[in-house]
Amino acid sequence: MSEMTNLESYPPLFRNLNGHSHISDDHNQTVGDSLDSDPLPLIDLQLPDSDKLGAACKNWGIFRLVNHGIPPTLTTQLQDSAKRLFSLPFESKQALFNGPVSYFWGTPALTTSGTALRGALNINWLEGLSVFHSQLSQVGFQDPMINAFRLLLEEYGRHQVRIAKILYGAMSKNLNLDSKQSQIFSEPIGYHRIYRYPVSPNPNELSGMEEHTDSSVLTILHQDQIGGLEFFRDNKWLPVKHVPNTLIVNIGDMMQAASDDEYISVKHRVRANKDEERFSICYFEFPADGAVIHSSKYRPFTYPEFSAQVQEDIKTVGYKVGLPRFKLHPNS
């Protein structure tokens, strides 16, 4: 299977707009690669500080993780493998990835799969591959390039499961969750998404990914050196810089609900870039299948119920409403 130029690998709409739209002079810059002046709280996985972790989850909802134990060579190999797959013709990707590993593009944040167009200038300027972690060991591909990607993602995912388990254990202890609530995450569901954000014809009008909160318990992100990820704090958007060999972890809606709103499901977005493509590798951890989340702030619900409501809201009102739909006292 041969690699194609970036434009040939883009979805048709992205190709057309790149070929005919005005290119803005204002564009994102790559961000620094040092921990100096990094605003994010720093958590060391080898020497976790319980108080520092709790403060990061309560006050920020996002933090940078160091000493996480993932070999840098594994991350590089996985990213390079993903880039080769994304460079395939758009039509080939649609045909190849229609099973456990699925291909999507232009879809609203946190939907299951497929494509949702809301107007040429009102879509997420991205494409991606997604798969449940548990399914990676159950599938194989005859094509060696795709199978190599699967094996790398499976190995990478084992590290993500380990990291999520350590973090959730520490958070659960900090929150003094009772045994019933802790069991919600005893057999969590892990989900991988690998994103490519194509070069954008007009980053001022197009979003790489629209602002949202994650529906997960936790999200663990590896981002490349291209800028664009931002989170909302103190009524302004702040950039998340690239720092080699670190991960970004953010709290999701399920953890906010389980913590009685003590922990923050942080709002974030990705800005489009007119000069360079951006790649990221995401791991989302969700509650155990069928587990009920109990909270003093929300009526009891399962993640499937939450997800179904998100999908319904996207169809009817055009965006994810999220946790407010489940509030016991909506005006509180």
Catalytic residues: 278
For residues 135 and 78, give the distance between their C-alpha atoms in angstroms, rounded to a whole number.
17
Q: Three-class SS of residue 325?
A: helix
CB-count exposure of residue 262 (10 Å: 0-12, 13-18, 19+)? middle
Give the three-state DSSP class for 191.
Answer: strand
Q: Following DSSP, what letter does each residue of 228-251 receive, concatenated?
A: -EEEEETTEEEE----TT-EEEEE
Q: At what angle do helices 50-59 and 144-175 cross, to 10 degrees?
A: 100
How deeply is 194 buried, as exposed, middle or buried, from its count of CB atoms within 10 A (0-12, 13-18, 19+)?
Answer: buried
Provide CB contacts within 8 A for 241, sequence distance 6+.
31, 32, 33, 38, 227
